[in-house]
């Protein structure tokens, strides 16, 4: 049974699945530190694994969000256009992270005009191809 508050919608999505490869061997070396030397080694290993994954997720999300930012042009646009840009930025993508993977999804449904899904699609692909 579908709750009346939730509307069921079917549609096309772009799904970007990114996974950080090569983490297994490094993670196997992580041990609970018993000395100061082991502590610095453990932190170094964690920085190479979990730290890199967190950096990678932030980089992708920042790259994606900044891509949709107009560079100083908002002041010259009409209120209607500024509102559309804000709507595009707020509905473009959703992000999920689990383990050493990152998933971004963009709804390709056309609720107002073609600009919304096209911006999300293009910026997701550009962000996926960027190097951190």
- Helical segments of 68-114, H only: 79-91
- Tens digit of each residue's pLDDT (9 = 90 or more) over 40-81: 999 999 898 888 888 888 888 787 767 656 555 556 667 776
| CA angle at 64 for the pair 26 and 69, rounded to the nearest 5° | 150
pLDDT band (50, 70, 90) for residue 6 = confident
The total number of structural domains in the chain stands at: 1
Instruction: Write down the pTM of the prediction.
Output: 0.61
Residue 123 lies in a domain: yes
Residue 114 lies in a domain: yes
Q: How far apart are CA 57 and CA 98, in angstroms?
A: 10
Contact 92, 104 (CB under 8 A): no
Residue 29 lies in a domain: no
Residue 99: left if φ>0, alpha if ψ -120 to 50, beta else—which one? Answer: left
- Domain of 113 in residue numbering reads as 13-20+56-129
Residue 26 lies in a domain: no
pLDDT band (50, 70, 90) for residue 95 = confident
Q: Is the pLDDT of residue 1 over 60?
A: no
Residue 43 lies in a domain: no
């Amino acid at each position: 049974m579908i709750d009346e508050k939730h509307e069921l919608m079917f549609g096309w999505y772009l799904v970007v699945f990114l996974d950080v490869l090569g983490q297994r061997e490094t993670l196997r070396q992580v041990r609970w530190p018993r000395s100061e030397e082991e502590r610095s080694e453990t932190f170094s290993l964690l920085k190479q694994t979990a730290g890199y994954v967190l950096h990678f997720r932030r980089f992708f999300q920042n790259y994606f969000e900044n891509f949709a930012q107009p560079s100083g042009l908002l002041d010259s646009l009409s209120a209607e256009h500024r509102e559309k840009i804000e709507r595009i930025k707020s509905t473009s993508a959703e992000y999920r992270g689990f383990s050493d993977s990152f998933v971004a999804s963009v709804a390709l449904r056309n609720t107002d005009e073609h600009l919304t899904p096209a911006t999300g699609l293009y910026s997701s692909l550009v962000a996926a191809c960027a190097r951190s």
